[in-house]
Amino acid sequence: MSLMPDQREQEEGEKLPSTRLSSIGKDWKKYLFEFLLIFTAVFLGFLADNIRENYGERQQAIALARSFYEELRNDSATVVLKIQGRHQKEKSIKYMVEFFRDSSLTSHSKELPYHFIWGVTARTPIIFTPRTVVLEQLKSS
């Protein structure tokens, strides 16, 4: 039985619904597999981004801690110098007070100019102001 082209298309058209159903069943498994692949890829991407972000925050915390330590170390060295300068200034003022009390002021000692410079002139500022740049960064983060 030879079929005309019109009849052939009709019979193929009649077969199409059954082949569609079987192809939908096969495609469903394929779609599910592709969905799982995409879902896994997106999930792993979020997971990797989260790990990277945690690593970056940890590195920033370590860098801030090191900077804070250096700032404290520098401030403590500055405090020591300020205290030494303050003690030297007090010592020089005491020397000058004793010299002016006990002296006839007709002659002076060789140490008087040294103590005068240390005691009277503001060679070293006594006020200490700590650097708080890193501390403010730590407070804000």
Structural domain contains residue 10: no
Structural domain contains residue 29: yes
Euclidean distance between CA atoms 123 and 79, whole angstroms: 16
Closest C-alpha to 50, from 38, 39, 58? 58
pLDDT class of 119 with cuts at 50, 70, 90 = confident
Q: Tell which wins on pLDDT, 30 or 8.
A: 30
DSSP letter assigned to residue 115: H
Q: Which domain covers residue 114, as residue numbers?
A: 18-140
Structural domain contains residue 4: no
Structural domain contains residue 6: no
Closest C-alpha to 84, from 92, 72, 95, 94? 92
Q: Please state the length of the chain.
A: 141
Euclidean distance between CA atoms 121 and 23, whole angstroms: 99
76-109 tens-digit pLDDT: 988 888 888 888 888 988 988 888 888 777 777 7
Into how many domains does the chain fold?
1
Structural domain contains residue 96: yes
62-78 tens-digit pLDDT: 999 999 999 999 999 88
How high is the pLDDT of residue 29? Answer: 85
First to last CA, the chain: 85
Res 4 pLDDT > 70: no
